[in-house]
Amino acid sequence: MDRIWFPDSVAFSPAYILKVFRIFINKYGTKIVLNHRLFQKAREMWVCAVFSLALTKATGKRFWLSAVNNDTTPDVYAFSWQPHPKIKDANIADRVSIEVTEWDSHSPDDLVGSVLRKKIAKAYPEYYNVLVYVKRYSQKTNLEDIFQQLKKLPIKVSEINLLSSVVGLQKDNHMAVCLYPKRFAVNFSLKEEEDKDTTTQVRRMSYGNNSSKPTLEPFILKLPDINELI
C-alpha cells in the first residue's frame, strides 16, 4: 500500500501527512497503525512530518516529503525549494535524505550502544540524516551523556537528530534535538506548527532535476477494509 498511499512521484506537505495519519487511525485503529508492518512507511512519514515542522520553526524553510519506495534506504526525502537567483520562474531544490529509526521503551537504555552504533556502522552515504524517534514515555534521556558518547564514534553521516514525542506536562509539546554535528534543540507545539502549514499540500515531482509543480488536483486516498490488507 506504500506506493498507493505515498507514491514516489508526489511530495506531500507535513500538514497533509499528519491529517492522513489521523485518518488511518480512525479507519484501522491505533494499535494496528502504530505497530503493523503495513503502516511502517506511514509511521516514517509521520515522524518526518513532525520533524520537518520543527525545522521550519528553526529555519523558516518549508518542506515537502516524498516516500522512498523503490530502495531500501533512505526512508524519506525532505524537499525545500528556493527561487533560482538567475532563472525566472525556476526553483533550486534542496533534498535531505532521512533514515528513520525508533528508540522505544522496549529498547536498551543505551541509545548510542543499542541504536546509533548499529546505524552509524552501516555504509550510509555521508549526506544521510539519521532521525531517531523516541517512544520512551515517562523516561528521561541524558542528552549530555549521548553527546559525549557520540564524540568517540567515527560518524560518517551528515546529521544525527532526535525527535521526542512528549516534553513537559502538555501532550502536544515536542522537542527536536540535533545530536551531531552541532548541538541545538527546538521546542514546539505540534498543533501550532501544523496550523501554520498552509502551503500547497501536494507537489508533483520531476526527478530529473528535483523540481516540482504545485497542483490543485485532488490526490485520491484509497482506504480498503482492514481484512483486505492483512
- Provide the 10 A C-beta neighbour count for residue 95: 13
Which of these, 42, 74, 28, 47, lies nearest to 228 by C-alpha position? 28
Mean pLDDT, to the nearest integer, of 76-89? 84
CA distance 20 to 88: 35
Q: Which residues, at least 6 apart from 109, have a Cβ–Cβ distance to it below 8 Å?
A: none
Residue with cell 482506504: 223
Separation of alpha carbons 56 and 36, rounded Å: 30
Cβ pair 190, 52 in contact under 8 A: no
Q: Tens digit of pLDDT for each residue in 167-213?
A: 555 678 899 999 999 898 999 999 999 999 887 688 776 644 445 55
What does the domain layout of the chain look like in residue ranges?
Answer: 2-229
Q: Which of 26-40, 127-141, 199-213 has the lowest mean pLDDT?
A: 199-213
Q: Are 138 and 167 in contact (CB under 8 A)?
A: no
Q: Which residues pair with 65 in a beta bridge?
A: 12, 78
Report which of residues 206 and 4 the model is more confident about: 4
- State the chain's mean pLDDT as an integer: 84
> Above 90 in pLDDT, residue 229?
no
E runs forming strands in 105-200 = 128-135, 159-164, 173-180, 184-189
Q: What is the per-residue pLDDT for 82?
A: 79
